[in-house]
Structure formats: structure tokens, C-alpha cells
A and B are shown apart, each in its own frame.
Chain A
Amino acid sequence: MGAGKTTAIQAVSEIDVVSTEASNSERHLVDKPTTTVALDYGEILVDGEEKIRLYGIPGQRRFDFMWAILKRRAQGMVLLVNNDAPDPVAEMLAYLDDFRELYDRGGVVVGISRSDIAPEPDLATYADAIALAHAGKVVPVFTVDPRNNDDMRMVLLALIANIEMRALFATVERDAI
């Protein structure tokens, strides 16, 4: 919570983002008046026929039933991590485990928000943690400002580039089995 996912979708969506929020019952943990309790929804129209649907899903584990639905249908995920959280690296690793299927097909990019306020851990620390936990697979990790259109567009493009490239290599591995 508080990493900026609603803001991030607003930065790239070409429609008004549909947000479902309620009062934040964990104000002692994250000081914001509201928080996402269902979904944020946005869209990017790629061409006349195809849309990229953007879903912002809550990070609290009591909503993990929602994760299962999106895991089956999503092509990729931008995991936003708040760098001034108590243990952001452990948080990231836990989410990567929860979304292992997406991760395995290259469908994860990690965006570290608030690194201007909390410069540590640095990106190398995140990359080292991923390498230790998941040897051989490289996950793009960037510092991001969720309010910045350019940042969020870049993250989206990196996600898609990584998914497509992983698929090219995976196709060969699959055929070789």
C-alpha cells in the first residue's frame, strides 16, 4: 500500500481511471486517507482493435483472491514497491513468489517508488536479492515516479519488450523438450 499504483495507472491510461477506494483502516502504517480496496482500471488503445487493459490491484494479502484471477489472465505485471517501507526487498521477493507464473514468462517489471525520499535500498540490492532467490532470470528493476507519464510509459514498454523476448527464447526451450 502506498507505492503509487493508482497514480501510476492514471499516468498512462487514456480513459478516466475507474477507482474503487475506501477509507484507509491502516492509517498507522501508511498515512493516506483512502486506499484501493478492489481495482483501479484504465486502458490504452493500441490500435483500432486492441486495448491494453490496466488493473491496479491491492497489495494487502486479504485481497489475494483477486490476484489468482488476474494471474490467470494477465500478460504481465508492474510491481510497485515503496522504498521507504520497513523491508521493501522482502516485500518484493514475496510478491515475486506469489506471481511466479508471470515472473517465469518474463512478465514482471519492478518499479521502486519514493527512492528520492528513501535512497536505500538501492537497485543493486534489489537485483542481488532477485539473483539469489531466482538464479538465471533477470527482472527489470527501475526507480520510478508514478506521477511521471514518461516513467510509467517506459516501464510498460520494458515489460512488453521483456515478455516478447522471453517468449521467443521459451518457444525454443519448449520445443526442445
Chain B
Amino acid sequence: MATEWNQAGEDSAAGTDEISATAITSEPPTTAGWEQAAVAMNSVLQLSIPMLMKMEFDAHDPLFIDFRYRAFAWSTPLSAFPEDAVLAGLQTQPTDLEAGLLFDLPGQPLDGLLWLIGLNSFHGARAPWLAPNERYKLSRWPNLTQHRHTMRQMQMLAVLGNAYVSAGELADMAGVDNSEAQSLINALSLLRILNRSVQAPAAVVAAPQATKRESLFSRLRARLGR
């Protein structure tokens, strides 16, 4: 879908309605879901070059990303993130640090968007940029005070913070479906906070001790109502 973007220039007060720039790449219309967006964003993050991105949707205002500042602007709040949004167009444009702003800064932190797109792409299958025989370990935790998450995800993060595991091993240790473990791995890799290894051996975890009591985590979780 060809779209003209006008460069925002030096006027940082330009609203997103006025944003336009010469499209360098554009993607044809696609079906519902975030896979295409995830692949495009992963590619940009891997390149680590200043880039702008514009996504257009059937039922939402356009979403603008400025990778220079790891920020985005979108009228749809992340609390109402549309898991089945229909992406109608995606454009990227290289930029430089001196170029004008795409939207008023600070914008919203990009990590929140990466988290949700990562979790909601590929329907629990491995993201295409990940390899089949890898194990993973966190390089740092995601900022959970800013990301909507489940207690199962927190338990999986505790595993990933302490050992290299594959998606299947993670699912076993945390007692979740493979798809749920893989979705989390996809999101963490998109956030660039996951170490990947094909050499890391399988982690060995102690067999749970026979006990009449649930773990303190489980009991506290129940107490705190989560």
C-alpha cells in the first residue's frame, strides 16, 4: 500500500495526523494478527539502525514507531491491545539522529508494545527468527510493573532467570502448555532480553520434595489474590 509520509521536520509539535514520509518499504495488506509486525520489528531491532515505522489497521488509528528513541505513538491504549488487529499496511523508513521527530517525545515506551506483540504473534509457535534446537536464559527480567502478566509467566521468568532451557523444558518445569512457554520466549526475544544457546546443556532441576504443603509462592499468590 503506497502512502506518502511528510517528514515532521524540526517542529516537534506536529501531530500524528500530519506525519508522512516517503515510503522506502511497504507491505501488502495482510490478515489478522501481529506476525508481520513482529517480523518487521525484529528485523529493525537486529539491524540496530535509526528507523521509523508506520503500521495501519482496519479498525484503529495508525501506529508510529521511532526506534531512535525506543518509543511509539498510538491512540489505542495498550490496556485495550487488539490481539486480532487486521494490519492493512506497514512501512519503514531509515532515518538519522538529526532528523525531525515523528511524534512528540517521550511517546510511549516501546517495550510495552514489544511485549504484547511478542506474546500475541505466531499463535504459540516458534517465532521464525528463533532456531529449533536452542535453549534460552534471561539476560534481564522484563519490567513487570509495566507489563500486564500472569503468575504462570512470572514462574517461567524465574526459571529462565536461573537456567538455560528450551521451550519444551520450560513448559515442563512451569507446568504450562508448550504454546504458552513459546509465546513468552517469542516476546522476550523480541524485547532483546534473552540469551540463546545451542551448546548449553539441559538444566538439571531437583525433583520436588514430597511435602504436604504447597510452595510459599503458591500460598502467597493465593493470599494476594493473584
Contact of B145 among A106, A127, A144 (CB under 8 A): A144
Q: Render B138-171 as a binary contact track against A, CB cut-off 8 A, 1 for contact.
A: 1111011110000100110111011100000000
| Residues 99 to 134 of chain B near chain A (Cβ within 8 Å) | 106
Cβ contacts under 8 Å, B216 to chain A: 46, 50, 52, 160, 164
How far is the CB of B14 from the nearest CB of chain A, in Å? 23
| Residues 199 to 226 of chain B near chain A (Cβ within 8 Å) | 203-206, 215-217, 219-221, 223-224, 226
The size bracket of the interface on A is 35 or more
Task: Indicate if the CB atoms of B162 and A143 lie closer than 8 Å.
Answer: no
Contact of B217 among A143, A164, A169 (CB under 8 A): A164
Task: Indicate if the CB atoms of A158 and B163 lie closer than 8 Å.
Answer: no
Cβ contacts under 8 Å, B154 to chain A: 154, 157-158, 161
Cβ contacts under 8 Å, A153 to chain B: 224, 226
- A144 and B158 CA atoms in complex are apart in Å by 19
Contact of B219 among A50, A123, A151, A156 (CB under 8 A): A50
Q: Render A117-141 as a binary contact track against B, CB cut-off 8 A, 1 for contact.
A: 0010001100100010000001011
Cβ contacts under 8 Å, A141 to chain B: 140-141, 143
Contact of B206 among A127, A160, A168 (CB under 8 A): A168
Known: A169-B203, A171-B206. A162 touches B220 (CB 8 A): no
Task: Indicate if the CB atoms of B215 and A164 lie closer than 8 Å.
Answer: yes
Task: Indicate if the CB atoms of B206 and A172 lie closer than 8 Å.
Answer: yes
Chain B interface residue count, Cβ-Cβ cutoff 8 angstroms: 32
A47 close to B (CB within 8 Å) = yes
Known: A47-B219, A47-B223. A151 touches B145 (CB 8 A): yes
Task: Indicate if the CB atoms of B138 and A138 lie closer than 8 Å.
Answer: yes
Task: Indicate if the CB atoms of B141 and A157 lie closer than 8 Å.
Answer: no
How far is the CB of A146 from the nearest CB of chain B, in Å? 11
- A78 and B220 CA atoms in complex are apart in Å by 16
- A53 and B138 CA atoms in complex are apart in Å by 29
A142 close to B (CB within 8 Å) = yes
A15 close to B (CB within 8 Å) = no
- A156 and B151 CA atoms in complex are apart in Å by 12
Determine which residue in A150, A156, A169 has the highest number of CB atoms from chain B within 10 A of its CB, and name it.
Answer: A169
A44 close to B (CB within 8 Å) = yes
Please give me the residue from chain A that is nearest to B163 by CB atom: A169
Cβ contacts under 8 Å, A142 to chain B: 141, 143-145
Please give me the residue from chain B that is nearest to A171 by CB atom: B206
Task: Indicate if the CB atoms of A46 and B219 lie closer than 8 Å.
Answer: yes
Task: Indicate if the CB atoms of B203 and A140 lie closer than 8 Å.
Answer: no
| Interface CB pairs A-B, < 8 A, 16 | A46-B219, A106-B162, A119-B106, A123-B140, A127-B140, A131-B140, A157-B217, A157-B221, A157-B224, A160-B217, A161-B154, A161-B217, A164-B217, A168-B206, A169-B203, A172-B204
15 other A-B residue contacts (CB within 8 Å) besides A50-B219, A154-B144, A169-B206: A46-B220, A50-B216, A106-B162, A138-B138, A138-B140, A138-B161, A142-B141, A142-B144, A153-B226, A158-B144, A158-B154, A164-B158, A165-B162, A169-B162, A169-B203
Interface residues of B (CB under 8 A from A): 106, 137-141, 143-146, 151, 154-155, 157-159, 161-163, 203-206, 215-217, 219-221, 223-224, 226
Interface residues of A (CB under 8 A from B): 44-47, 50, 52, 106, 119, 123-124, 127, 131, 138, 140-145, 148, 150-151, 153-158, 160-162, 164-166, 168-169, 171-172, 175
Q: Enumerate the 10 nearest inter-chain pairs by beta-carbon distance, A residue then B residue, closest first.
A: A127-B140, A171-B206, A165-B158, A161-B158, A140-B141, A138-B161, A160-B217, A172-B204, A168-B205, A151-B145
